[in-house]
Structure 1
Amino acid sequence: MKFFLPDSQDLVDPSFDFERERRSATRQRQFDDLYAHEVFSTPAFDGLLVSKGIVDGFGALGSRYAKHQRLLLLRRGAPWFFRVDKAPNPIKIMGDCGAFTYVHEDEPPYTVEEVLEFYEGCRFDYGVSVDHVILEFIPAADAPGADKQLVPKSLRDRQKLTLELAETFLRKHKAGHHGFEALGVAQGWSPKSYAAAVKALQKMGYDYIALGGMVPLKSREIHLCLEEIQVVRNPNTRLHLLGVNRTEHLPEFARLGIASFDSTSPLRQAFKDDRDNYYADDFKYTAIRIPQIEGNPRLQQRISSGQISQEHARRLERACLDAMKLFEANQHTVRQVVEVLTEYEQLYDPNKDHAEAYEKTLSDAPWRRCPCEVCEALQHHVIIFRGAERNRRRGFHNIWTLYRQMQNLGLERRSTRRQPARRPKSRPSGEAR
């Protein structure tokens, strides 16, 4: 099974000084900062997923790319842009449209021709057909004699449009002799509707099919869909789960034909989840929150209103950072650190109480036994919830840990088999990386 990491331009600055919290004045983000695959000496994932909606931006969701970055990606291609030659293992790059960015539109904002041109120009290894995501799940629609009115016409129209676009996509992909492998997208609202979409895509000629719209589903619901798809799936048809990562269910998903998946969950949980921020082999730990005064709106508001003094807040913030440093040097006990952390938390978020979770994190100190480059380099800084440089690196650690868990399960030995032939990639003379 292959793990693709969706790109959201998450990089880290190798010049960042964690003690002084400063970076090099000469740093150039695109050329000096590091992608996750450049941080580790062992594989952390198998591929990248690049969405047109993320690159271009759509509606209120702006692009994650600056104008010059978009131009570089299109002119030089994704392998050069992402520096995949610096990865410890071969990295494949998959492109999709980013259907969640236009989920509220009546139709996808991109034509098949525009998407094919985007995939080819970026020199992707795989390209996903244009789709229109379905978010409702109505399993009752599969019951014998179920009322057809259970499924709104809008959902049936979205599935029909997605299949029509997939058929056009594959036909023009073949006619254009494109260098990437095409994936068709199956959208549905129930197990049987997903199976019907997969069956239709196989009839068109697809043997690599992406399953969309499953992000909101519970694991049991995904399993039911995969079981139904298994009834119609050809032996050589591979399945890709778009946006879904359920680590504990991956072995079962593999048995049901899942050859690859993509997910940002390990990265996002590092700084989005209230509790599960740091992955270990058998547990997810809560990161130690020491927010910067300037970056905490609630704390800033309380300071501005005169409820608390800025001097007092800054003193507690510094005390927390010092306590963690002393703890790492074995000069502070868990209790001493938790006390000062709790005092600061009562200042910036009196409705929260992470004391028990902090005690577990500090007692186990999981970063001390993690062999990844992030933990070895950052030591206790990796567990501190504070600023993008620490938080992203903790997310990188989570990605690396998930991949190691897949290896321990033996899932990484599965392959997506057929690899598309690629054109030689030459670098224009005179252009420096």
Structure 2
Amino acid sequence: MRFFFPDSQDQVNPSFNFLTEEHDPFRVRQRDDLYAHEVLTGAPFDGLLVSKAIVDGRVGSSAGKYTVAQRHRLYREGARRFFRLDHGHTPLKIMGDCGAFSYVSEVEPPYTVDEVIDFYHGCGFDYGISVDHVIFQYDPAASSEAAKKQGWVDRQRITLELAEKFRDRSDARGVKFTAYGVAQGWSPESYAAAVEKLQDLGYQHVALGGMVPLKSRDILACLDVVKPVLKDGTEVHLLGVSRCDDVPKFAEGGVTSFDSTSPFRQAFKDDRDNFYTPWRTYVALRVPQVDGNAKLKARIRSGEISQGKAIDLERKALDQLRRFDKDDTDVESVVEALREYSDLWDGKSDRSSQYRETLTDRPWRDCSCDLCKQHGIEIAIFRGSERNKRRGFHNLYVFEQQLRARQARKDPA
């Protein structure tokens, strides 16, 4: 099963100085910063997924996450060169979609079929997903009348009509990318009906959308009904779903690829599961920058605490962590330094026991990824994007290792 990582221009600066917290003054981000597949030996995914909404935004609405210069260079150079897909240890594929979550509240998708084809074809993608309209709700017991009343039937109809136009226009224009048709549904039967329709339209590649909020058992229930209608050779992609424990079951249900940002985002978005290992996850060691933490800055401005005290405690926490990584101090001394600083910037959550587990086990020392070997304890510190993104890349590495191991064992347990 292939794993695609959704791009949001996530890179790290290889020259970043962790001690001074400084970047090279002559650094050019797009030229010098590196993607996960460039900093890790062996790409932690099979390809990237890039959304039109991320790159271009929407006219009259939101801007994309790309600057004007980045967007123009992507179109000018093409995706392979822009993302340096051949610069890592393994050449990667690239998939495009519309970013349907960005316009879920609208009556109809804001992009035309030809605009989307222009995006895929112009950037030189390997795979392109048809324009779709997300159905968030899932209710297997809903009657046809209820589904119509909720607007689910209309959204499925719009998605299938756009898939037909997408197929026709792609064929007429002789595009080089492989076209995927999207199936949206609200029940196992509605998903299966959409997949059957897409195959009747000539699609040999189908993407199942709207499943991000579903529990694994619901996804598997849909796959149980979808699989019997799949024709020989039809490939199935799960949009936005990654649950490593269930990958073998997904594969048995006919899934051949999926995409997700979860392993990466948990590094800095999750309250607990920040650092992946093959056997468990750990809390990252939180030492926010004094000048980068909104709550702490507000307390300093109000005169509640002194800036000098905050800086002293921040430096003490970092010093203790680095001494610990050199075996120059003990776990309890580090936990106490982290707790003192946490009382200042947080004052609510006491993560001492969780920090104690992370420090006692030192999971970065057992990891074989390039980033852990190079940066040591720095990668386990929750502090600024350079550390947090590196930890996210590490998580992708561990996730990919787990994925391949489970596939090799074919063991769903």
8 Å CA contact 1:290–1:386 kept in 2: the answer is yes
The alpha carbon displacement at 1:284 in A equals: 0.7
8 Å CA contact 1:6–1:262 kept in 2: the answer is yes
Query: Aligned residue for 1:416?
Result: none
What is the alpha-carbon distance in structure 2 between the residues aligned to residue 242 and residue 205 of structure 1? 20
SS at match of 1:140: coil
8 Å CA contact 1:2–1:412 kept in 2: the answer is no
SS at match of 2:236: strand
| Structure 1 residue runs without a partner (length 5+) | 414-433
Are 1:197 and 2:197 counterparts?
no
Counterpart amino acid of 1:289? R
What is the alpha-carbon distance in structure 1 between the residues aligned to residue 225 and residue 192 of structure 2? 6
Question: What aligned pairs does 1:111-150 form with structure 2 within 5 A after superposition?
Answer: 111-141=112-142, 146=143, 148-149=145-146
Question: What aligned pairs does 1:22-421 form with structure 2 within 5 A after superposition?
Answer: 22-58=22-58, 61-141=62-142, 146=143, 148-149=145-146, 151-410=148-407
8 Å CA contact 2:296–2:345 kept in 1: the answer is yes
The alpha carbon displacement at 1:60 in A equals: 5.9
The alpha carbon displacement at 1:342 in A equals: 0.9
Residue-by-residue CA offset, 1:176-216 (whole Å, 9 max, x unaligned): 11100000000011111111111110111111101111001
Counterpart amino acid of 1:334? V
What is the alpha-carbon distance in structure 2 between the residues aligned to residue 347 and residue 82 of structure 1? 41
SS at match of 2:141: helix
1:147–1:75 distance in 2 versus 1, CA, 3 Å:
closer
8 Å CA contact 2:148–2:154 kept in 1: the answer is no
What is the alpha-carbon distance in structure 2 between the residues aligned to residue 302 and residue 309 of structure 1? 8
The alpha carbon displacement at 1:136 in A equals: 0.8
The alpha carbon displacement at 1:309 in A equals: 1.3
Residue-by-residue CA offset, 1:315-352 (whole Å, 9 max, x unaligned): 11000000001100101111110111011111111111
The alpha carbon displacement at 1:411 in A equals: 5.7
What is the alpha-carbon distance in structure 1 between the residues aligned to residue 314 and residue 63 of structure 2? 33
Residue-by-residue CA offset, 1:287-332 (whole Å, 9 max, x unaligned): 0000001111111111111221111111110000000011001011
What fraction of aligned residue pairs are identical, expressed as a percent? 53
8 Å CA contact 1:16–1:24 kept in 2: the answer is yes
What is the alpha-carbon distance in structure 1 between the residues aligned to residue 200 and residue 81 of structure 2? 36
What is the alpha-carbon distance in structure 2 between the residues aligned to residue 350 and residue 233 of structure 1? 55
Q: Give the CA RMSD over aligned residues.
A: 1.4
1:150–1:175 distance in 2 versus 1, CA, 3 Å:
closer
8 Å CA contact 1:138–1:151 kept in 2: the answer is no
Residue-by-residue CA offset, 1:37-72 (whole Å, 9 max, x unaligned): 110121211000010000012366432111111001
What is the alpha-carbon distance in structure 2 between the residues aligned to residue 291 and residue 177 of structure 1? 52
What is the alpha-carbon distance in structure 2 between the residues aligned to residue 163 and residue 297 of structure 1? 46
1:376–1:61 distance in 2 versus 1, CA, 3 Å:
farther
SS at match of 2:48: strand
| Structure 2 residue runs without a partner (length 5+) | none
What is the alpha-carbon distance in structure 1 between the residues aligned to residue 316 and residue 285 of structure 2? 13
Residue-by-residue CA offset, 1:346-377 (whole Å, 9 max, x unaligned): 11111111111101100110000111111011
8 Å CA contact 2:5–2:49 kept in 1: the answer is yes
Counterpart amino acid of 2:106? E
Counterpart amino acid of 1:117? D
The TM-score, its normalising length taken from structure 1, stands at 0.92
Counterpart amino acid of 2:208? L
The alpha carbon displacement at 1:169 in A equals: 0.4
Are 1:9 and 2:9 counterparts?
yes
What is the alpha-carbon distance in structure 1 between the residues aligned to residue 108 and residue 145 of structure 2? 23
1:158–1:147 distance in 2 versus 1, CA, 3 Å:
closer
Counterpart amino acid of 1:52? K
SS at match of 2:198: helix
8 Å CA contact 2:263–2:392 kept in 1: the answer is yes
